Amino acid sequence: MITSTLARFIALSLGSRFAAACVLLLALVYPAYAADPILPDPQLTPGAVLTTDLSKICQPGYTKTVRHTSGALKREVYAEYNIKPDSGRYEVDHLIPLEIGGADVKENLWPESYGTKPWNAAVKDKLENYLHVEACAGHIPIEQAQKEIAEDWIVAYRKYLGEL
């Protein structure tokens, strides 16, 4: 990450207190360089459920009927996380996915990185698809899938799909 490299350079050149002040200033002035959120902030994104009704969730095309996230709402989410919305490095994602009954509201949205390794938006998408299939097949209770992905999607990924 750029801030840690810069911090080491400044610390070696000018001292650790000055380095800490510079890194803090850099994070405030250039929010796109702040640490990528691999997990959402639970104060900002606790998760929200729209439904647990499998007869709705498991219907083909269900998510199209409930996905209505506006550009204004996405910009609001980026602002709360102090991330530039035009960076191209994130998607505004649903913590509890629509495909397992998550709600399309601010409390369920967060900027998820495409580029963090190994955990990123593409990896979470695999878990979302798995949970949808398994819940609709009756192998995982929908409430359990919603709860586990909201608590820590990486722990849920490891539980159901193993290590990367």
Would the pTM count as exceeding 0.85?
Answer: no
Specify the pLDDT at position 34. 47
pLDDT at 23: 47
81 Cβ contact list (under 8 Å, min separation 6)? 37, 41, 44, 110, 111
Model confidence pLDDT, tens digit, residues 67-80: 999 999 999 999 99
Name 31's Cβ contacts closer than 8 Å, sequence gap at least 6.
Answer: 82, 83, 84
DSSP 146: H
Pick the closest to residue 34 from 105, 96, 89, 74 (CA basis).
Answer: 89
pLDDT band at 160 (very low <50, low <70, confident <90, very high): very high
